[in-house]
Amino acid sequence: MFDRLFIISLLAGMSLLSCRTAASEDSQGSVLVRKCTDFTVTGDGKSENWSSTNWIMLGRQDQGKVDYRTRAKVLYSETGIYFLFDCEDRKLTSTLKADNLDLYTEDVVEVFLWTGENFPVYFEYEISPLDFELPIIIPNNKGTFLGWLPWKYEGDRRVRHATSVKGGMKESGAAVKGWMAEFFIPYRLLTPLGNVPPVSGTKWRANMYRIDYDQGPTHFSWQKTSGSFHEYQKFGTFIFE
């Protein structure tokens, strides 16, 4: 009898552990964002801090012709939130060579952060393989939206970002095996959005995307939307450790 109860208890504990592990990666549209100390963004994800969390897979959202592996990691600190994207690729479709352009018309990764659900305003960040960025705040009025660039975007309000390329040159049209993007979004840039900065237990709605143009546009997403990346009601949830 004792042995039977022990085995049942052990199996229950293993099941609970399995659930907790799955939840820390991606379960029911949520991910546990682990806390870290601040570190230097290098564009290649070599900081030891990244080993403390798991990859989150982005799936192909539409009927695009390529199905490249796309994955991301997320961490947060006392001062901001970190992202790392790893994108399999064959060719860099990236000709735009300035910030704040229509980066989504070429290869790009994107993050959307809807920090407070009581107000339909969220932060969007885009970065290209050539390391050009687009940071915008977006008020979304029942599907009508337009981005606004940050004012006084300098000092500790600036995003720290870098990219790297695998198997080729970091230049437009280059044949490659993949590329990575690493960036740090300071909480000061997100002012005055709600629930910023996050503390343990805080929940933000969020989504992560990629667009690749090797054979026409192919869209990848963490939480699938029906078309527009701006369907914030379909975002997943970041739960801060």
Tell me, what CATH number does 194's domain have? 2.60.40.1190
CA distance 3 to 91: 59
Q: What is the pLDDT of residues 132-145, one digit of tens each?
A: 999 999 999 888 89
Placement of tokens 């699938």 in the chain: 224
Q: pLDDT value at position 142?
A: 84
Query: Is 171 part of a structural domain of the chain?
Result: yes
Query: Is 156 part of a structural domain of the chain?
Result: yes
Domain span at residue 77 reads 31-240
Examine the pLDDT at 8 and tell me if it is beyond 80.
Answer: no
Examine the pLDDT at 18 and tell me if it is beyond 50.
Answer: no
Query: Is 8 part of a structural domain of the chain?
Result: no
Cβ density class 66-81: b for 16+ within 10 Å, e for less: eebebbbbbbbbeebb
Domain total in the chain: 1
Q: pLDDT value at position 22?
A: 34
CA distance 99 to 41: 18
In the chain, which residue ranges form alpha helices assigned H by DSSP? 2-25, 187-190
Q: What is the pLDDT of residues 166-193, one digit of tens each?
A: 999 999 999 999 999 999 999 999 999 9
Structure tokens at 68: 């490249």
Examine the pLDDT at 2 and tell me if it is beyond 60.
Answer: no
How far, rounded to the nearest angstrom, does the alpha carbon of residue 115 sit from its chain's CA centroid? Answer: 14
Query: Is 80 part of a structural domain of the chain?
Result: yes
Determine which helix (DSSP H) or strand (DSSP E) holds 62, and give its type and residue range: none
Query: Is 25 part of a structural domain of the chain?
Result: no
Query: Is 152 part of a structural domain of the chain?
Result: yes
Distant-in-sequence, close-in-space partners of 216: CB < 8 Å, separation ≥ 6: 64, 65
Residues of the chain with pLDDT > 70, as a percent, come to: 88
Q: How confident is the model at residue 233 (pLDDT cuts 50, 70, 90)?
A: very high
What integer best gives the mean pLDDT of the chain?
A: 90
CA distance 125 to 79: 17
Q: How confident is the model at residue 85 (pLDDT cuts 50, 70, 90)?
A: very high
Cα atoms in the Cβ-side hemisphere of radius 13 Å centred on 224: 7
Question: How many beta carbons lie within 10 A of that of residue 60, not counting itself?
Answer: 18
Query: Is 22 part of a structural domain of the chain?
Result: no
User: What residues are paired with 210 via a beta bridge?
Assistant: 109, 220
Q: Lowest mean pLDDT of 46-50, 60-64, 99-103, name the range.
A: 60-64
Q: pLDDT value at position 28?
A: 59
Query: Is 10 part of a structural domain of the chain?
Result: no
